[in-house]
Chains A and B, each alone.
Chain A
Amino acid sequence: MELTEQRNLVHKTRDARRSISFPKLSPAERDSLIKKYHPDHRAHAYRPIIFGPNAGQLTVTEVATLLEGESPVPADLDLTPDYSVDVLVVGGGGAGCASALHAHAQGANVLLATKLRLGDSNSVMAQGGMQIAVASDDSPVQHFLDTLKGGHMKNDHQLLKVMVEEGPSIAKWLLELGVLFDRDADGNLHVKKGGGSSKARLLTCSDYTGLEIMRVLKDEVLNQKIPLLEFVAAVELLSDAKGACTGAVLKDLDNNRFIVVAAKTVIMATGGIGRLHIQGFPTSNHFGATGDALVLAYRLGVPLVQIDTFQYHPSGGVYPEQLVGALVTEGIRSEGGHLVNAKGERFVNELDTRDVVSSSIIRECEEGRGIRTPSGRVGVWLDTPLLDVEHGPGTLDKHFPAMVRQYERYQVDIRKDPVLIYPTLHYQNGGVKIDVNGETPVANLFVAGEASGGLHGRNRLMGNSLLDLMVFGKRTGILAAERAKSLPNSSLTLDHLKRFRAEAKRHQVSAGVISPMVLPAYTNK
């Protein structure tokens, strides 16, 4: 059947679908659906990590290979520092900017290094919003419970409690910096409903929440004149005789030179792993999402947590080809957009958690109820025109200008026609082990944001990532700066790397893979 014909079925069935409601699945139903269809449960994609702090534990092959990879830093590198600072922040996204600003505000001498430009990150793309329990009928406790249920009860309670309780003060901080959140008529912050949440709790800046926050944070980093190294990637950490973190080896991507930074404390805020294309999935992530902090922390002896679970966002583009993997915001479903299969039927409560919705889309496609694109991909419909029908003409223009524009570039009018979607690799649920201050088990090494693990359990709720970045950016920034005041300068060594290399040799691991990956190899050679 032609795509146009298939599309017409969505138009034809729209009215009938509006009267149907789908209950959310019970915990038992969720579990069985996920076990059967979620990519986290495809055993062939996983293997045990051979050595290091997580030896014997399962993760996807793509991650295991990088963790066991070879450092690009030669053992005899001259470690005379090019920079000597209190706090080194690696990463220029939401968590990196927040931690740099807070550390700077404490009076610390901060250096921020990022492998692309300041602000190039997944944060800038966050469209759905930021969950903070500000509404009068809501509470941080309910935010905690919703997140826990969404995460299959596997979230670290302490980390989660800290995040939900500090949420409101983060909103205040961002407002004081000039972030323009959507408001209600009475001046209060407007809240929207998100998948898996029992209350409307999403603060938004239309569908540009991440962009607005990042424009402001970047501008403030520049206003505060925080020293910045752009197009400079971290490729190894440094340690002293006691094994504490004392700095990092960076690599300037413009001239390929190593840069040695002595830092009393290091905050890694390098984000997630989408560009590893786990299990061959397309990704919604930015160009630099290659899991660098996982690799660097692991070589320094830091364990990772829940590194076997990833989020496949239900709505990645599948058509047109230029938008394959690109995110279609969950906001469309939050405002009532239906998911529709090739038979013109709904098949899931669209506001169930992301892992449930993704699993059900995969089920529809595997069981032959998907829609095939001209280039052979398969997906299901997301009925965007329904929003204008439900809430009045102009709703899409007003609430989803970014998405309207994104599709218009390829002559698809989402006001008139539904779009085709399929799950896309979106988020690393686990990550580097941290405590409530974002500190890892290795002294003076902090991790903030998506690179860290434990907070989100086995599935992150929409809108909890932006909050995670801001809360743990703040906590790491403040503590790292405080810590630096009382720390003497320590030695810079690659002793941990020596130990790591010896272990690799003992386990006969020599895949010839250099890690961190830094940037994906898309160039046709």
Chain B
Amino acid sequence: MPDTLDKKHTLNQEEILQPKMVTVEIEGKPFQVPAGITLIKALWYAGQDVIRGVGCLGGFCGACATYYRTKDDPKVKTCLACSMAVEDGMSFSFMPAFPARKATYNLLELKDPKQDLFALYPEAPLCRNCNACTEACPQNIDVREGVWKAVFGDFKTVSEMFMDCVMCGLCAPVCIADIAPNLVALYASRAQGVHFTEKPEGLSKRIEEISDGRFQQEWDRILKLSDEELQNTTASTT
């Protein structure tokens, strides 16, 4: 049984005990690390403390946005370091915090959010179609298309396209028009929710029912029950 458990955190894992090692370059410096571990674990293995650059460790928070290159390939690609395995000859560096400008806004006060986009993010319509943002996205979102959809006011499609966006921001430094596409998409998605999505009737009804005390009788009944009676009761819905 104990062999299913990490005995001492993550470093004492089987893949680390295996003798097969690979050479990687971390910020230009070569290290020998076990084959197959994630880029983050390679940093820990190499003795580097990482504070900026580690977040959820599950591919959802975008903290570990990373540039990497595989052996002999000139193409520099992007990834999330928690979700990418090292291979021999790989070279990688964390993306430094990028000072993209986020507009601030009060969504409820906006009168015409699709037009307001141009005041908040005047650079958005200046996209020159180079497609670098799409190529930089580790989530395979068609970012360039999303920027254009936002500019043309199709906020609904933007919100669907960017549901996968982890806000790593890798799309921003590559933009030659200084657009931060993830921030533009976030604005469009929130505006879609606030201004262009219908209010669910069932929810309003339920809130009313609660404030009108419709469940009071049921509460009075069940809060008097013993644990055993509670175990066997269900709430009346009539």
Verify if A483 is at the interface (C-beta below 8 Å from B). no
Q: Taking chain B's interface residues, is the majority helix, strand, or loop, or is none over half, making it mixed?
A: loop
Do B61 and A216 have beta carbons less than 8 Å apart?
Answer: no
Do B4 and A379 have beta carbons less than 8 Å apart?
Answer: yes
Verify if B118 is at the interface (C-beta below 8 Å from A). no
Q: How far is the CA of A287 from the CA of B50 in the complex (A)?
A: 10
Verify if B11 is at the interface (C-beta below 8 Å from A). yes
What B residues does A410 contact at CB under 8 A? Answer: 85
Do B63 and A117 have beta carbons less than 8 Å apart?
Answer: yes
A280's partner among B6, B106, B199 (CB-CB below 8 A) is B6
Do A376 and B14 have beta carbons less than 8 Å apart?
Answer: yes
CB contacts under 8 Å to A, within B37-57, are 37-38, 41, 44-52, 54-57
B-contacting 9-mer, from A63-71, A219-227, A462-470, A487-495 = A219-227
User: A139 and B60 in contact (CB under 8 A), knowing A365-B1, A522-B11?
Assistant: no
What B residues does A187 contact at CB under 8 A? Answer: 198-201
Q: How far is the CA of A23 from the CA of B61 in the complex (A)?
A: 38
What A residues does B205 contact at CB under 8 A? Answer: 136
A121's partner among B2, B56, B197 (CB-CB below 8 A) is B56
- Please indicate which of the listed interface residues A187, A280, A325, A522 has the most CB atoms of chain B within 10 Å of its own CB: A522
- How many chain B residues sit at the interface, stated as a range, is 35 or more
- Please indicate which of the listed interface residues A253, A286, A327 has the most CB atoms of chain B within 10 Å of its own CB: A286
B51's partner among A205, A210, A253 (CB-CB below 8 A) is A253
Q: How far is the CA of A277 from the CA of B6 in the complex (A)?
A: 8
Do A145 and B83 have beta carbons less than 8 Å apart?
Answer: no
User: A211 and B166 in contact (CB under 8 A), knowing A122-B56, A179-B193, A198-B234?
Assistant: yes
| 9 residue pairs A–B, Cβ–Cβ below 8 Å | A120-B56, A125-B56, A134-B206, A139-B235, A169-B210, A187-B198, A211-B166, A215-B189, A219-B186
Not counting A219-B190, A223-B105, A401-B163, a sample of 4 additional A-B residue pairs whose C-beta atoms are within 8 angstroms of each other reads: A141-B235, A320-B36, A322-B83, A377-B3
Residues of A at the B interface (CB closer than 8 Å) are: 27, 116-117, 119-122, 124-125, 133-142, 144-145, 148-149, 153, 157, 161, 165, 168-169, 171-172, 175-180, 183, 187-189, 198, 205-206, 208, 210-212, 215-216, 218-219, 222-223, 225, 231, 253-254, 277, 279-282, 284, 286-287, 318, 320-322, 324-327, 365-366, 370, 375-379, 401-402, 405-406, 409-410, 422, 519-525
Residues of B at the A interface (CB closer than 8 Å) are: 1-11, 13-15, 18, 36-38, 41, 44-52, 54-61, 63, 83-85, 102, 104-108, 139-140, 159, 163-167, 186, 189-194, 197-207, 210, 215, 218-219, 222-223, 227, 230-231, 233-235, 237
